Structure 1
């Protein structure tokens, strides 16, 4: 089955439709909430929370003895929130920095989770098979109820986002100013963190513990390259996330032996790569083009200044001495003369040149405004 056949079957095949909708909704909510993690410079928080959720899944299974998805995700949510609470406690009550606290909790919880999974796999209970899918994800296990749960959480998150939009926005860019306005910064911060944890937990079944942080951050990082406006960034990140889910699922379904989660993350990474290169404001390509254009403009301005000096200091600019001075100038080339003429700063007549009135005014302004490398 190729990708075209896949999209033709999406509307008729229940399994494909469910998986596609699930990954699209997951990508949208991850992009939307991941924007806050990126702008708050908490990129590693998603990695720490996703790994901290693993022991919660194992403990939930040990208590219930069943692989009910909702129960396991509830255990993951509790474990993820506990890990977040510990991270904040370490940062607040010790001299350790944020990255150290994140690394400690990530390693501790993930190690404990792997220990519990090993213990469970050695039990005689045959029901433990399949728990390892939460490590790397298994989108094929999504059912309609899972997609409905993702859609409900996305709707609630969007409602809360719109309800507290002003508070979130101020808190994001100036926490101290938020306090002076009388807002409860602890509540706002906890609310944002809770929904980030919730989005991560919802994605564990599809993408897995190991790759979930990339799903959270990649769409937001790509969207950040295209805009400076928060609302626009959230919208673009949601679109990138949804398209990553859809196309990643399509590629995985059209090829044999390709896991859906890693392919989704790779597609999201392609969006990041394209954004880093081709975005007009911050893209590497346009940065290089602007750099070359600025360098050319600077060269023309230097040439114009030098020609202005020649005119001011020599009564006859056609005198061999004046011509030799101009020819020895590093920025003087036939191409630069043609470009100066195109800008109507000089006029050319054979081998002779003269400054136009506009060229005089431009040169005088350049003396009043120093060049960038001065």
Structure 2
């Protein structure tokens, strides 16, 4: 009975936080400028190219050459920040806002250890994570395990945020698909760089919430075994925006009134069904099973008001051999309180991989 009451408190906290953030009108809603017009049609086509029919497509990805600067270093560790041109193809590049054309990345790595004896995990951003700091704090304690942390700043976030966008509130539905597709392309190129240029001995990809969805997609498409670590993540953005707390942060009326669709008007219910159809493109269960499903560890919260349990279990069923670990809490409280569980999943996922052969 006590556990039930505590769980309910975590669930209520998610809804109280969501009500304060999304219903008080202190900030704009998501997609206040509508669907995105012709850009949405383009992105629907491009995202379909990620699906299983073309497993292993576009590998190796475009080679990137980040320009690095050292932020700080000690006897045992070094933090560098780098920039590189996004490897997205011309169609995607033309759709991206100019502010997002240059990608930013941070790399926190141990010193005095050969790269082939070090693992590196790419950390992708959750909704609202505009900077490097939170993910560097998550990865920092892993240095003692010889695990480096690479943090990618997402398109539309941080210094890559379009001028007219307020915080994390993407202006159009097409922006969400564009953010996801560009993040996947950039993360795949970073993994290729870590392997072929930096020479790390093992690799992984992780993310919280939205970042976990992107991490799952990247891990699915990688041609060799890597640790794939979605934390507090749904199997699809449909769940986040149509079922969880974020449905209250969505500008349904603006979407209903947007006449960029074929018909001049639509009902609110038609707008919601259209959203489900568009966001079904983000369904990770349609992606290939990663090369080593035993190195897939999902960490989910027992009382998550943003991500229902059934969504987590759908991905586990789609990827036999993957593991789900449950932490007690809601989305917000687990995000704050369970970093040690996320770190343990990173270590365990990497431990289920073989080391790459060391150079001669």
State whether TM-score is above 0.5: no
Greater share of residues in strand: 2
TM-score by length of 1: 0.25
Higher Cα Rg: structure 1 or 2? 1
Which protein is richer in helix relative to its size? 1
Query: TM-score with structure 2 length normalisation?
Result: 0.26
